[in-house]
């Protein structure tokens, strides 16, 4: 009895030391994560603080204070804040562009991924490799040919009498902003890998029930792949929202500028630098909320198709 009690006491006494050793082993990793988090969040903190400073804080000698002045007029004051700039128009343009690009990529990637995953046709693998190769081509390489194509299309729609009534503009218009990005090799690859994990028996059962390819895609494949679809939608929307070079190239009209270009123009004016910081926060906040709200889909969609390929 005494021996058992002594052994139990020694076991309980050793538990705190084991927990302490485990924490000590993890301490370097936790410290590294904390440092990385600080480095990542510090620019965001500086931007948020600077968006609450009055203009005089930027005009004085030395660096602006890293403690906010709580100057909410930068956001709301008429004639002195974001409300007096076309930021609302910039945000609307970015939202329209990002939404159309996202929908376009979802449609084209879903159809092509279904074909590569479930249909058998000559040259399927070679064509899929060609799709993957497009992921290795930077935007800067294709930007000039794309711009020349938009110029040609714009000229056709504005010069041809039978097309002029449509008022479709590929320069200074939404079609030019979205056209080069309606299809994506990355989206096709992501969805194809996920679709490959769907049991073939489900498709065979749908075929026995008289489903064609379109009904199988809509009623069987897409409901099972909603995590991957949500992942692609988030990535496509974020990528489109953060575009800078292409909208700068195809828009000359200030009313067609996106939020990234509009904020850069505001930042170039030192007398509006505080408003530019406020506009940056307004452009960043929706994307932050989007990622936080749908982060589970990002993780699930990225790793959901890693079992089979």
Q: What is the pLDDT of residues 159-211, one digit of tens each?
A: 765 555 566 788 888 999 999 999 989 999 999 999 999 998 998 898 888 88
Distance, CA of 231 to CA of 113 (rounded, Å): 15
Task: For the chain, report the end-to-end CA distance as a whole number of angstroms.
Answer: 60
Q: Which residue has the tokens 């979802």?
A: 106
Say what the pLDDT of residue 150 is.
92
Q: Which pTM does this prediction carry? A: 0.80
- CA nearest 195: which of 37, 278, 309, 93? 309
- CA nearest 188: which of 271, 251, 249, 105? 105
Distances (CA, A) of 256 to 78, 84, 232: 23, 17, 26
The domain 82-304: what is its CATH number? Answer: 1.10.3720.10
Q: List the domain boundaries for the chain.
A: 2-74, 82-304
Say what the pLDDT of residue 32 is.
92
Q: Please give the structure tokens belonging to residue 194.
A: 């996920």
Say what the pLDDT of residue 179 is.
93
Q: Please give the structure tokens belonging to residue 70.
A: 């709580």
Say what the pLDDT of residue 250 is.
93
Say what the pLDDT of residue 276 is.
81
Say what the pLDDT of residue 21 is.
78
Please list the ranges in the chain whose pLDDT falls under 70.
1-16, 76-85, 160-167, 270, 299-309
Neighbours of 250 (CB within 10 A): 24
Q: 97-107, pLDDT tens digit by residue?
A: 999 999 999 99
Distance, CA of 240 to CA of 51 (rounded, Å): 24
């Amino acid at each position: 009895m005494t021996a058992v009690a002594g052994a139990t006491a020694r076991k309980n006494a050793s538990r705190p030391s084991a927990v302490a050793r485990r924490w000590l082993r993890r301490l370097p990793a936790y410290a590294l994560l904390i440092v990385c988090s600080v480095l990542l969040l510090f620019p965001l903190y500086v931007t948020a603080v600077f968006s609450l400073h009055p203009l005089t804080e930027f005009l004085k000698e030395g660096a602006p204070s890293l403690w906010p002045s709580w100057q909410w007029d930068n956001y709301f004051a008429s004639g002195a804040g974001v409300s007096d700039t076309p930021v609302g128009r910039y945000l609307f343009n970015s939202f329209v562009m990002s939404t159309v690009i996202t929908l376009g990529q979802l449609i084209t990637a879903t159809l092509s991924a279904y074909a590569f995953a479930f249909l058998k046709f000559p040259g399927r693998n070679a064509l899929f490799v060609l799709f993957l190769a497009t992921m290795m081509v930077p935007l800067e390489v294709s930007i000039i040919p794309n711009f020349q194509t938009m110029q040609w299309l714009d000229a056709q729609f504005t010069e041809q009498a039978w097309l002029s009534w449509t008022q479709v503009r590929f320069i200074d218009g939404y079609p030019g902003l979205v056209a080069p990005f309606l299809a994506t090799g990355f989206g096709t690859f992501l969805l194809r890998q996920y679709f490959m994990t769907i049991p073939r028996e489900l498709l065979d059962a749908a075929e026995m029930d008289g489903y064609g390819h379109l009904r199988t895609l809509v009623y069987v494949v897409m409901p099972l792949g909603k995590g991957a679809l949500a992942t692609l939608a988030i990535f496509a929307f974020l990528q489109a929202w953060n575009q800078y070079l292409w909208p700068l190239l195809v828009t000359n009209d200030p009313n067609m500028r996106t939020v990234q270009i509009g904020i850069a123009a505001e930042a170039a004016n030192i007398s509006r630098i505080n408003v530019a910081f406020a506009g940056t926060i307004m452009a960043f906040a929706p994307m932050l909320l989007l990622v936080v709200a749908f982060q589970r889909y990002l993780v699930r969609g990225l790793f959901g198709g890693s079992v089979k390929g």
